[in-house]
């Protein structure tokens, strides 16, 4: 099933991108934590056709099914829009979405464990200048997320936690770090254990 994504002007949409190979409750934890703390209307789970920083992934349809099994509720929408947009890199996806949905307040969501490699993403500084970013704490990251390259490059763009609700409408660069109850699951660990796409 493919979603015809609807987003009127003024809507607050979180974007959770990834391979989801497999998806797990840690992804749902990031999505739901950000949605609640930022007052988002919904979260779009952008299932990447192929993550350029990872080896060849499981077939897309299986990863979409995995994400749908975890992203429960009408406010979590799993989509293959990157495949339909023919974009491979996050910066290109964001530019395309902003063109397609003018006036929508997009926020890029990520677990703090992804920040260690954020500077390897194509145009990572341009990403920060294009949309606000919400970082949700994850096991193994801790204070490093608040002291990493994002924080070093954009120290004055960090929003205080009490102002997290302002993040979706903030003029980028703007980012917020949300400490939250940790969920220990990771896709890498699940693949290594052989749990694969059956894990939630």
Confidence of residue 174 (pLDDT cuts 50, 70, 90): very high
Domain membership flag for residue 6: no
Question: Tokens 């960090």 label which residue?
Answer: 158
Which pLDDT score is estimated for 92?
Answer: 97
Looking at mean pLDDT, say which of 13-22, 43-52, 133-142 comes out highest.
13-22
41 in any annotated domain: yes
Domain containing residue 53: CATH number: 3.40.50.620
| Cα-Cα-Cα-Cα dihedral sign, residues 192, 194, 198, 200 | negative
Span 31-46, mean pLDDT? 97
Q: What is the mean pLDDT of residues 86-115?
A: 94
Judge contact between 153 and 115, C-beta under 8 A. Answer: no
Q: How many CB atoms lie within 10 A of CB 134?
A: 28
**Mean pLDDT value of segment 103-132:** 93
pLDDT at 198: 41
The residue with tokens 């990031």 is 30
- The pLDDT of 125-142, averaged and rounded, is 87
For residue 3, being part of any structural domain is answered with: no
Does 187 reside within a domain? yes
The mean pLDDT of 117-128, rounded to a whole number, is 94
Tell me, yes or no, whether 2 lies in a domain: no
Could you tell me the pLDDT band of residue 2, with boundaries at 50, 70 and 90? Answer: very low
Structural tokens at position 149:
């390259």
Q: Which domain holds residue 149?
A: 12-198
Q: Is residue 1 part of a domain?
A: no
> What is the share, in percent, of the chain residues with pLDDT greater than 70?
82
Cα(68)–Cα(73) distance, integer angstroms: 10
Domain count, the chain: 1
pLDDT given for residue 146 in this prediction: 60
Residue 87 within any structural domain of the chain: yes
Helices (H), 39-153: 60-70, 81-85, 90-100, 124-130, 144-147, 149-153
- Describe the crossing of helices 60-70 and 25-38 by its angle, rounded to 10 degrees: 60
Is 106 a member of any domain?
yes
Residue with the two structure tokens 């979409």 = 64
């Amino acid at each position: 099933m493919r979603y015809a994504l609807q987003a009127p002007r003024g809507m607050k949409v979180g974007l959770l991108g990834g391979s989801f190979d497999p998806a797990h409750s840690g992804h749902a934890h990031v999505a739901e934590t950000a949605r609640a703390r930022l007052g988002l209307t919904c979260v779009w789970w952008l299932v990447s056709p192929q993550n350029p920083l990872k080896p060849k992934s499981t077939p897309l349809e299986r990863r979409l099914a995995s994400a749908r099994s975890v992203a429960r509720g009408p406010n979590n929408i799993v989509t293959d829009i990157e495949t339909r947009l023919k974009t491979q890199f996050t910066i290109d996806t964001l530019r395309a979405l902003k063109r397609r949905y003018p006036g929508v307040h997009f926020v890029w969501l990520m677990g703090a464990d992804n920040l260690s490699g954020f500077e390897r993403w194509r145009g990572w500084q341009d990403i920060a200048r294009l949309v606000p970013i919400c970082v949700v704490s994850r096991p193994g990251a801790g204070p490093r997320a608040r002291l990493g390259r994002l924080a070093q490059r954009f120290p004055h763009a960090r929003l205080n936690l009490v102002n997290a609700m302002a993040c979706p409408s903030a003029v980028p660069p703007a980012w917020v770090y949300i400490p939250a109850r940790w969920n220990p699951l990771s896709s890498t660990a699940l693949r290594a254990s052989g749990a694969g796409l059956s894990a939630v």
